[in-house]
């Protein structure tokens, strides 16, 4: 998916997620889970996310950040204006992928 290549290969700050909402590649970017962190450059506290639901005109994707980059855990094609069900499906898939042990199971 070309749009994923436009996302930095690391967890994103809330400001970066907000910027994705203004980007041409996505209609909507929503963090699924957030956590507090410290920015490496200046040791300032930030809130980051390693899980997003991304939406464009005809698709919604649930993505998570792992050691080797962003991975799509759910992809739903959307027809028409209403993306609600697709957003909920992708959010649930992201939450399932983040459960303890799920990542290890996926690798093996």
pLDDT top residue among 48 and 78: 78
Q: Which of 60, 65, 78, 55 is nearest to 8 (CA)?
A: 65
Q: What percent of the chain has pLDDT over 70?
A: 90
Q: How much is the pLDDT for 40?
A: 75
- Residue 102 pLDDT more than 70? no
Gap between the Cα atoms of 40 and 54, Å rounded: 26
Return the higher-pLDDT residue of 58 and 6.
58
- Taking only the tens place, the pLDDT of each residue in 21-34 is 888 889 999 999 88
> Whole domain around residue 50: which residue ranges?
2-107
Report the chain's terminal Cα–Cα distance, integer Å: 24
- Number of domains making up the chain: 1
Q: Is the pLDDT of residue 105 over 80?
A: no
Burial of 56 (0-12, 13-18, 19+ CB in 10 A): middle
Cα–Cα dist 76/80, whole Å: 13
Q: Is the pLDDT of residue 103 over 70?
A: no
Asked if 76 contacts 93 with a C-beta cutoff of 8 angstroms, the reply is: no
């Amino acid at each position: 998916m070309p749009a994923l290549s436009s996302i930095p290969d690391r967890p994103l700050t809330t400001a970066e997620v907000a910027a994705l909402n203004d980007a041409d590649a996505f209609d909507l970017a929503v963090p699924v889970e957030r956590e507090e962190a410290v920015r490496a450059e200046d040791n300032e506290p930030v809130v980051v996310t390693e899980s997003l639901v991304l939406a464009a005109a005809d698709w919604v994707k649930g993505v998570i950040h792992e050691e080797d980059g962003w991975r799509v855990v759910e992809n739903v094609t959307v027809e028409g204006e209403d993306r609600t069900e697709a957003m909920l499906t992708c959010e649930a898939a992201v939450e399932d992928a983040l459960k303890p042990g799920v990542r290890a199971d996926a690798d093996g």
